[in-house]
Structure 1
Amino acid sequence: MKGLVFCEFLEMVEKEFGYETVDHIIENTNLPSNGVYTSVGTYSHEEMFALVGQLSAKTNIPVSKLFYAYGEYVFGVFGNAYKELILGYENAFDFLCRVEDTIHVQVLKLYPEAELPRIEVKNRSDEFLELVYTSKRKMSDFAEGLIQGCMKYFNENASISKEFLSEDQSQVLFTIKK
């Protein structure tokens, strides 16, 4: 995973829980990087799971809820930092349907070694969207938070449900209803 994702996670933890919590989770997690991240560096996704697990232990908030909250948070951060990538879209569904062929293409230009999830549009109408998320990292709670963050960014309300399509949870169907 790109270091930018780690940097933003630690920023969120500091905003929500304070610097002492950031220090605690880094100090109490055995990290190959020692918790030192640069935005352009690449780190194992297992470090993110370890950090979120440590934050869960410290706060008594389930890991799934923390990943969801982080996804929602980081969409807002990236949405504001990279507005030019979102400007041409009129609504959340238009944006979500183009993640694979626009956003991921731009990410790969910047970081050719990035291992991105696959987002496939299965069905779409004005009020209904089905997306299939496929990732060996199995971060569907984070993906769900990103979807919610996107809906908020476009000031739209929707219900989001997910169904695991594979036993190992590497493939998930998200159903989004406005």
Structure 2
Amino acid sequence: MKGIIFTEFLELVEEKFGLAMVDKIITQSELQSGGIYTSVGTYEFSEMLQLLTHLSENTDISKDDLLLVYSEHLFKALVRSHPNLVDHYKDPMDLLASIENHIHVEVQKIYPDAQLPTFELEDRNDDKMVMVYKSDKALYMLGKGLMQETFKLFKTPVEINLEKLNEAGTEVRFFINKA
């Protein structure tokens, strides 16, 4: 997993819960990296899972809710760092429909060894979209949050529902409807 995911996560933890919480979740975790991350480095997903789990345990906030909060922070950081990825889109549905053919292609240029989820577009019209998320990391709530942030960026109300296609959450169908 790319280091930017870790550095932004720890930045969010510090911002929302304080530096002591950052130290606490790092200390509670068994991290091969020692909890030292660079945005361009690559680290084991298990480290993120440990940090997220310990944050959830220490705050009594579910991992899903933490991922939604994190998605807001991460989206802003990504748009700030790479505005060209979203600048030429005029509609959030167009941006989401282009995840595989444009956004992820550009992300791979910036971070060649990034392990990205896939988003298969199953159906789309002007107001509705159905996409299937696939990733062995099962971070579908992060995906949902990034979708919600996309619609916020375009000041477009949205309703996003999901259906887990397997118990692990490695395949999830999203139903996206402009409100």
- Do they superpose with TM above 0.5? yes
Moved more, 142-151 or 1-10: 142-151
- Give, in angstroms, the shift of residue 40 of structure 1: 0.9
Whole-angstrom CA distance in 1 between matches of 2:97 and 2:137: 21
Distance (whole Å) between structure 1 residues aligned to residue 100 and residue 54 of structure 2: 32
TM-score by length of 2: 0.95
8 Å CA contact 1:4, 1:38 repeated in 2: yes
- TM-aligned CA deviation for residue 124 of structure 1: 1.1
For structure 2, the residue ranges without an aligned partner over 5 or more in a row are none
Q: Distance in 1 between matches of 2:50 and 2:167?
A: 22
Deviations 1:84-138 (A, max 9, x none): 1111100111101101111111111222222111111111112111111100111
2:32 & 2:150 partners in 1: Cα distance?
A: 32
**Structure 1 segment 17-166 matched on structure 2, within 5 A:** 17-166=17-166
Match of 1:11 in 2: 11
Separation (CA, whole Å) in 1 of partners of 2:126 and 2:77: 26
Structure 1 residues 5-58: Cα deviation after superposition (integer angstroms, max 9, x where no partner): 100001111111111111111111111111100111111111111101110111
Mapped contact 1:164–1:173 kept (Cα < 8 A): yes
Unaligned runs of 5+ in 1: none
Number of residue pairs the alignment of both structures matches: 178
Aligned-partner SS, 2:113: coil
Deviation digits for residues 136-167 of structure 1, max 9, x if unmatched?
A: 11111111111111111111111111101233
Distance 1:13 1:91 in 2: 31
C-alpha RMSD of the superposition: 1.1
Rounded to whole Å, the distance in 1 between the matches of 2:167 and 2:51 is 25
How many Å separate the matches in 2 of 1:77 and 1:114? 17
* TM-score (norm. length: structure 1): 0.95
* Percent identity of paired positions between Structure 1 and Structure 2: 40
Which 10-residue stretch deviates more, 103-112 or 85-94? 103-112
